[in-house]
């Protein structure tokens, strides 16, 4: 998998392997894992300035986007917007991961 060659993702290897091994019909990329990925990517890119970090993030973002679409597909626009706003809480709660 892509994260095996990206050092900042190595600590999440087991979690990412579980996500990747799910059947497409049951695919889910949990928000808490996404937040960790984003913050670790920010840390790595701020140190390394390596485009591979952004490439890995882009691939993983597609998985999170699919998961979000599935989470909100039965919601009306207001409910979906509230769900997206609530994601900020997860980013705030895990902000200590940031090292910049």
Cα–Cα distance measured from residue 88 to residue 73, given in angstroms and rounded to the nearest whole number = 20
Q: Band of the pLDDT at 1, cuts 50, 70, 90?
A: low
pLDDT of the residue at 7: 83
Burial class (CB in 10 A: 0-12, 13-18, 19+), 40: buried
pLDDT of the residue at 6: 80
pLDDT of the residue at 2: 60
pLDDT of the residue at 3: 61
pTM above 0.95? Answer: no
């Amino acid at each position: 998998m892509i994260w095996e060659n990206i050092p900042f993702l190595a600590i999440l290897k087991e979690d990412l392997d579980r996500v990747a091994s799910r059947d497409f019909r049951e695919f889910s990329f949990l928000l808490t894992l996404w937040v960790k990925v984003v913050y670790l990517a920010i840390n790595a890119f701020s140190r390394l300035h390596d485009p591979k970090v952004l490439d890995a993030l882009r691939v993983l973002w597609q998985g999170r986007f699919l998961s979000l679409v599935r989470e909100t597909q039965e919601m009306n626009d207001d409910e979906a917007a509230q769900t997206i706003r609530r994601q900020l809480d997860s980013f705030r709660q895990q902000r200590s991961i940031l090292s910049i």
